[in-house]
Amino acid sequence: MARRIKSSFALRFYSEVFGLDHLHYGLWNGEPLTFDGLRSAQERYAKRLTGLIPEGVKTVLDVGSGTGGFSAALKGRGYQVEGLSPDPHQQKLYGERVGEPFHLVRFQDFDVPHSYDLVVMSESVQYIWLQSYFPAIRRTAAGGHLLLADYFRIRQEDDELPEGSGHDLEAFLSEAEEAGLELVYREDVTDQVLPTLDLGRDWLEKHVDPFLALMNDTLTERYPRIYGLLRLFLRRRTERHLGKIRKLLDGKEFQRTRRYLILLYRVAPGS
């Protein structure tokens, strides 16, 4: 049975607290390191993807459509666009911003009524296991194209794959080929996404760290016993979680272990 996931707190936080129309890293080109800078970097990213849409495309499925920002832009350009995400809050946003059709489902469970000229995925490929991802692409984009932008993990000198999010790049490329996808465009934009990590780290250090320190001091002072116990319970989880975020926001680490790519594939017709 198709499984729904809960609304993502993190994605909702980015769009509502930072007022972002897109939930991706953007493509920077010298903008100031501010949230306005990020917004224009995100517009550049959306334009770059739009510029890669092959001629003749009419129907588009925006998989992992987030707040609907990219779909709205595509609709404005005359494409017949449909959104898809398993997140009920994003369904609501999509309805307000873009309208129907929207599919509230995980991509791997999507029982496609017909295939689309183009499936577009910005920073949503990493959420889907490859074993169910490529069959879903073959169903939804048969005879059409797949345009995606996302980051991938790369093997290190010792052939180890670093921990964390993002598919194994080599595995992704070879499984795509096996699935009958022909690569027609590839661009490495890793350097152009890095300022987003600097901005995130800066924000964490200026706002989250002092807030956590203040909460810690206040709760220790007011409820020393209860909070002492709670802290024992929570500390490891919080540290692990924040540790992961800090690592992902470390630009040097990202450059060493990840590649942010834009890929355009031609998908073989269905059999």
Ligand X SMILES: C[S@@+](CC[C@H](N)C(=O)[O-])C[C@H]1O[C@@H](n2cnc3c(N)ncnc32)[C@H](O)[C@@H]1O
Contacts to ligand X by CB under 6 A: 8, 11, 22-24, 63-66, 69-70, 84-87, 90, 106-107, 122-124, 127-128
User: Shortest Cβ distance from residue 94 to ligand X (Å)?
Assistant: 9
Cis peptide before 101 (omega within 30 of 0): yes
Nearer to ligand X by Cβ, of 164 and 219: the residue is 164
- Residues contacting 184, CB < 8 A, separation 6+: 145, 264, 265, 266
Residue 55 CB coordination number (10 Å): 4
Angle at CA of residue 52, ends 167 and 149, nearest 5°:
15
Reference 50, options 19, 30, 29, 76; nearest CA is: 76
Nearer to ligand X by Cβ, of 102 and 265: the residue is 102
User: Shortest Cβ distance from residue 123 to ligand X (Å)?
Assistant: 4
User: Shortest Cβ distance from residue 209 to ligand X (Å)?
Assistant: 24
Nearer to ligand X by Cβ, of 2 and 230: the residue is 2
Nearer to ligand X by Cβ, of 65 and 257: the residue is 65
User: Shortest Cβ distance from residue 246 to ligand X (Å)?
Assistant: 19
Nearer to ligand X by Cβ, of 86 and 144: the residue is 86
Beta strands 145-153 and 258-267: pairing type?
antiparallel
Nearer to ligand X by Cβ, of 59 and 227: the residue is 59
User: Shortest Cβ distance from residue 32 to ligand X (Å)?
Assistant: 22
User: Shortest Cβ distance from residue 128 to ligand X (Å)?
Assistant: 5
- Residues contacting 213, CB < 8 A, separation 6+: none
Widest CA span in the chain:
68
